[in-house]
Amino acid sequence: MLYHSLIIKYIVFDIPNILWLPENVHRGQLHKGMGVVIEVEWEILPIHSADQNGDGKISLVELLRVIQFFNSAGFHCADGTEDGYNPGPNGEKTCRPHASDYNPRNWEIGLTELLRLIQFFNSGGYHKCEDSEDGYCPSLI
Ligand SMILES: [Ca+2]
Ligand SMILES: [Ca+2]
């Protein structure tokens, strides 16, 4: 199975609000103001997060959604939206990361990440593949 790792870096402000910690990190070891780096692995799914209707193609509407994130200096988790995310840097970031956010995976869409999705848009589709930078390759299978 293909996995990509996610590195979460954040500063502890309020210890009781941390919902999840890796097994080797104990709540008692945390102090307010300390930095925490957590690395998590996520399975690459056959359907890219940007592909809202799951047809293996990135439509203009689907591309524009990620451009919105690119223009918003970040995005965060949001239940009930078309893709499970909302633009803007402030908000919950504990859901599965967006597949376009891979280099680096930092809850922001950079130009390189946007260009990758534009490549899928221009290629008529994408598919999950091994050994690519983001776990996907251009063109339908
Ligand atoms: Ca689509
Ligand atoms: Ca990113």
CA atoms within 13 A on the CB side of 8: 19
Closest ligand to residue 66's CA: 2
The pair of three-digit structure tokens given for residue 69, joined into one six-digit string = 């994130």
Q: What pLDDT does residue 84 have? A: 96
Query: How far away, in angstroms, is 24 Cα from ligand 1 center?
Result: 39
CA dist 72 and 3 (Å) reads: 27
Query: How far away, in angstroms, is 125 Cα from ligand 1 center?
Result: 8
CA dist 112 and 60 (Å) reads: 18
Taking CA atoms, 103 is separated from 9, 12, 33, 77, in Å, by 15, 24, 27, 18
Q: 140 with 124: CB under 8 angstroms?
A: yes
Q: What pLDDT does residue 98 have? A: 94
Stretches in the chain below the pLDDT threshold 70: 1-41
Q: What pLDDT does residue 112 have? A: 95
- End-to-end CA distance of the chain, in Å? 18
